[in-house]
Amino acid sequence: MQRFRNHVAVLIVFMALLSCGGGKAEPIIPERKAIEPSPTKVVEEFLKAIKDEKFEKAFQYVYAPYSDKEGYIIQMQNTVKDNQLTILNYRILGTQIFDRTAIVVVELNQKVKSPQTGQIVELLQNSQYDLGLFDEKWKITSGNCIKN
């Protein structure tokens, strides 16, 4: 009987060591496939193209199912002209990648015609660009001002 108790005690200690000794196994987080260009690079290149008024180049970074390239270029030319928009500079503040979507937050410094006064004003704002994966390429799906 004493021998049986010794075996049970050793077994209990062994089980405790196995369950606690090594700690919990770290969860395995699968490596995300890196798709180039990254969402950050897509937004940087898009803003550079808009700043330089190279709207044909900008078109390659957007998901625009509502327009063809020529229509997009005309729309952007009119937007820049009508609002007297000039991007002075920009700075990426952060990027968050989810599964097949991403957001990039940018600080934009621009000159634009005020809708209230008609005067050209310098505006510093934070904008959020939403991106999605289309044919394994990151494309901008929308952009919104999040702070003026």
- Alpha-carbon distance of 142 to 46, in angstroms, equals 12
User: Which residues are within 8 A (CB) of 129 and not within 5 positions of it... i.e. 6 or more apart?
Assistant: 43, 46, 103, 104, 105, 106, 140, 142, 143
Please state the rounded mean pLDDT for residues 117-135.
96
- Alpha-carbon distance of 78 to 87, in angstroms, equals 15
Q: Are strands 120-134 and 86-97 parallel, antiparallel or unpaired?
A: unpaired
Q: What is the mean pLDDT of the chain?
A: 86
Q: Is the pLDDT of residue 4 over 80?
A: no
- Alpha-carbon distance of 119 to 125, in angstroms, equals 18
Per-residue model confidence as pLDDT tens digits over 78-101:
999 999 999 999 999 999 999 999
- Alpha-carbon distance of 41 to 102, in angstroms, equals 12
Per-residue model confidence as pLDDT tens digits over 51-70:
999 999 999 999 999 899 99
Q: Is the pLDDT of residue 28 over 60?
A: yes
Closest among 71, 66, 131 to 96, alpha carbons compared: 131
pTM over 0.85: no
> What's the pLDDT band for 8 if we cut at 50, 70, 90?
very low
User: Which residues are within 8 A (CB) of 93 and not within 5 positions of it... i.e. 6 or more apart?
Assistant: 105, 106, 107, 126
